[in-house]
A and B are shown apart, each in its own frame.
Chain A
Amino acid sequence: QQQVKQSPQSLIVQKGGISIINCAYENTAFDYFPWYQQFPGKGPALLIAIRPDVSEKKEGRFTISFNKSAKQFSLHIMDSQPGDSATYFCAARPGSARQLTFGSGTQLTVLP
């Protein structure tokens, strides 16, 4: 049973456009929602994270929007650049645990 559902599976965006990746979860015990970025041949690296007491968090061109009632959160990449081309994973973790439950990943391609 997939606890964190991520969409789309792949996304192609023009340079300068906005990339949006969505995730939904069922487990209401989740209280930490990070996004990870993974380049080919590398391990995932934390991009940005949010806790459910805020509805939005922005770091540079990256923004997480969080909707607690809908149990959904999304990553917005503004002014997308070719260097943003990577696989993006949403994840979630309950307060009682350390390990992350990952979404299935989104392969983002930003065309020059």
Chain B
Amino acid sequence: DTAVSQTPKYLVTQMGNDKSIKCEQNLGHDTMYWYKQDSKKFLKIMFSYNNKELIINETVPNRFSPKSPDKAHLNLHINSLELGDSAVYFCASSLPQGQNTEAFFGQGTRLTVV
């Protein structure tokens, strides 16, 4: 009954590969996010989607491409992986602005690029 679930939990891959991380939420939220947590645990927003539409795209290399097939899913595809992409990636979801907008986070995907 996990509210926000991400797969895989761990991902080890070589430089130059392409990989995807999947995220699903069963909370009925309409807004989903991807956050990146670096080695110093700093959390930074990458993307935000509302009802399958991209509404936030922070300064993220275009090798990162989010895809939202429906409002319960937000996947992250990363092309040509680089060493600096190693981090923990968190998916999150929330209700629309103006309501109880607590953001619920998934367990994270630890990406290691070697």
Q: List the interface of chain A (C-beta within 8 A of B).
A: 32, 34, 36, 38, 41-46, 49, 87, 89, 93, 95-102, 104-105, 107
CA distance A100 to B48 in the complex (A): 10
A92 CB → nearest B CB, Å? 12
Count: A-B pairs, CB below 8 Å: 59
Category for how many chain B residues contact A: 20 to 34
Q: Tell me which residues across on chain B come within 8 A of A105, comparing CB atoms.
A: 40-43
- Known pairs A36-B105, A89-B43, A104-B42; list 13 more (Cβ under 8 Å): A32-B101, A38-B41, A41-B107, A43-B92, A46-B104, A95-B97, A96-B97, A98-B55, A98-B56, A102-B42, A104-B40, A105-B42, A107-B41
Q: Tell me which residues across on chain A come within 8 A of B86, comparing CB atoms.
A: none
- CB-defined A-B contacts under 8 Å, sample of 13: A34-B102, A42-B107, A42-B108, A43-B108, A93-B101, A97-B97, A98-B50, A98-B56, A98-B94, A99-B45, A104-B40, A105-B41, A107-B41
